[in-house]
A = this chain, B = another copy of it.
Amino acid sequence: MEENKKRGWFRKKKGTKNARPTHHNKPSHVEGKSGGKHFGGKKLRIIPLGGLEEVGKNIMALEYGDDIVIIDAGMSFAGPDMLGVDFIVPDISYLEARKKKIRGILFTHGHLDHIGAIQYVLPKLGNPPIYTNKLALGLIKNRLKEFALDKSAKLNLVNETSKLKLGAFDIEFFRVNHSIPNSMGVYLGTPVGNIVHTGDFKFDHSPAIDKPTDFQRIAEIGKKGIDVLMVDSTNALRPGFCKSEAEVAKTLEDIIEKTKGRLIIASFSSLIGRINQIVNFAAKNNRKVFLSGRSMINNVQLSEELGYSTYPKGTVRKLNAQANSLPPSQVLILTTGAQGETLSALTRMSIGEHSQIKIREGDTVVISASPIPGNELAVVNVINNLYAQGAKVITNNDMDIHVSGHAHQEELKLMYALIKPKCYVPIHGELYMRRGHIEMIKTVADPRMLATCLDNNGDVLEVSKQGIRKSKEKVPANDILVDGLGFGDIGSRVIQDRKIMSEDGIVVMLFHAYEESKRLISEPDILSRGFLYLKESEEIANEVKQVARKSFDQITQQNRKIGLKDLKKELERNISNFIRKRLRREPMIIPIIMYA
């Protein structure tokens, strides 16, 4: 939308060369999407295939001539309306059709919303080489192991000083901070324009075990002359600065020092830095640390193997019976489940169904996380249940025990100022966040610069010598739903059926009849699930049976040659109408007809 209004300012004189911007350089090559002019020459195409209509499932393709570079390949969790869907991976059919052109996948960091689709993406794309930092590489290896893909993967370690040449792309990295160590932004130089992708980022002058943001390096990247800045929008609606991890550490240290009873701390298992600090504080206060939850155990083990841990060896162990027998003041349990996930260790503890830990009076539970939108009720349930078991619960509402990993508005403004791009493209966030982000950009950016909202996954931004514009083309970018072992074998019809059954259940009506005469051999039988207790509602069951019988007789008397399909359809309609009127419910109706 925005670029239309500014089109006049950006139209470029024909033939002008792509000028590298200086401080007050007048942008000269940005053009609105509906400009009908010739837009020729070799183009760089920037295609976010995920991460624009959700927080998660981040993946972006950059295509220039015969070369494609991919940034991230994440998954997203399914919303509550996606019944039974375990998670979602991006639609990569566009890339699959061009897999010969793929020069590599860069991963900005090791979170699942950036690496979690790798088991789906790698085999489909002909196993392209992977480039990422030490920690992300370790996490990717672990994930690939689960799917027996680790042996074949082409894993390449890079760091913030690495320079890569992948086809036409000159690639460099820069250090940012985030809620996992080693996060990086990416610079990609091409013959028609230079791109910066921030990855997920915040600025932190006192991170946990990570180094602080390298502002000089980011400024240096900016000095190269950046045409397009793809920038994280997750917290673009939040004013001010994101607090430092050091503040969280201080509060957690305080809690660990002052708490007398047993301590249970739930957090994200990828918060390697925070976990490391918690273990150190525990050691200082003579608490043994017990790990609970598969991802917590795996990630702590990985962080030790890769040398991220700074605590004395042997301070942590898997949860065992000692956690119950040691004096409470010597126990600290680090667990997963801060999002109230149904099967997580913390949820099981909260309802007294954890095999090893029974919550008892005097326990303090610290939830060092914020609920991800959609998880609020689940987290509240866990908290209520913990209270009911006798624990005290401390959340981020009570004390500063969690900070986000994403830049707030003032940090975003600082990023703009360091990079000074010609065109801003908010990424990573839902539409309303990215639209808000654009409003914010307008408050600080040179009004001659372009802020472009790619509304949807699969939208294409084209960069050429002539300028930057949103293409009219749409690349397929559907959600690929993952349920159990199947990728994409369920779709909207299946979800729709699940929804109907989740609301009013299912009623199966059994008809046994003579094929020729269409006379019923016996009363129709009824069977239901999720509808009502038929045993306790015999009256209703009988009414439904009667309606079914009458309906069957009527339909078949009117047309003794009626086909099976039509007969079923009419039966379904009649029974459905009756139940709707009688009970105001709309279960799924399945008539089954067996002919003798």
Q: Which residues in A have some Cβ–Cβ distance to B below 8 Å?
A: 1, 53, 79-80, 83-84, 237, 373-374, 376-377, 380, 383-384, 387-388, 390, 393, 397, 430-432, 435, 455, 483-486, 489-491, 493-495, 497-499, 501-506, 508, 510, 512, 527, 529-533, 536-537, 582-585, 588, 590, 592, 594, 596
Contact = CB atoms under 8 A, between A and B. Distances in A.
A397 B84 contact: no
A498 B503 contact: yes
A501 B483 contact: no
Nearest to A512: B594
Given A494-B530, A503-B84, A532-B490, A484 B585 contact: yes
A509 to B, nearest CB: 11
Nearest to A53: B384
B491 A397 contact: no
A568 to B, nearest CB: 11
A48 to B, nearest CB: 16
A532 B495 CA distance: 9
A377 B387 CA distance: 26
Given A484-B585, A527-B592, A594-B512, A373 B376 contact: yes
B505 A494 contact: yes
Given A397-B237, A498-B501, A530-B494, A536 B489 contact: yes
Contacts of A504: 84, 483-484
Contact of A501 (B380, B489, B529): B529
B374 A583 contact: no
A301 to B, nearest CB: 25
Contact of A533 (B1, B377, B493): B493
Given A374-B376, A374-B377, A497-B505, A527 B387 contact: no
A536 B499 CA distance: 21
A380 B432 contact: yes
A592 B510 contact: yes
A377 B55 CA distance: 12
6 smallest beta-carbon distances between A and B, as pairs: A484-B584, A502-B502, A84-B503, A498-B530, A497-B530, A501-B501
Contacts of A53: 384
A204 B393 CA distance: 32
A318 B305 CA distance: 68
Contact of A393 (B376, B432, B529, B585): B432
B502 A499 contact: yes
Given A237-B397, A393-B432, A497-B530, A486 B83 contact: no
A490 B84 CA distance: 22
Given A84-B504, A373-B376, A489-B532, 14 more contacts: A79-B377, A380-B430, A380-B432, A387-B431, A393-B432, A485-B585, A486-B583, A486-B585, A490-B532, A490-B533, A501-B506, A527-B590, A529-B588, A594-B594
23 contacts: A53-B384, A84-B502, A84-B505, A374-B376, A383-B432, A387-B432, A388-B455, A483-B585, A484-B583, A485-B583, A486-B583, A489-B533, A489-B536, A490-B532, A491-B533, A498-B501, A499-B502, A506-B506, A508-B592, A510-B594, A529-B588, A529-B590, A594-B594
A423 to B, nearest CB: 20
A578 B383 CA distance: 37
Contacts of A84: 502-505, 530, 585
Q: Which of A84, A237, A596 has the most CB of B within 10 A?
A: A84
Nearest to A490: B532
Given A376-B376, A530-B494, A585-B483, A80 B80 contact: yes
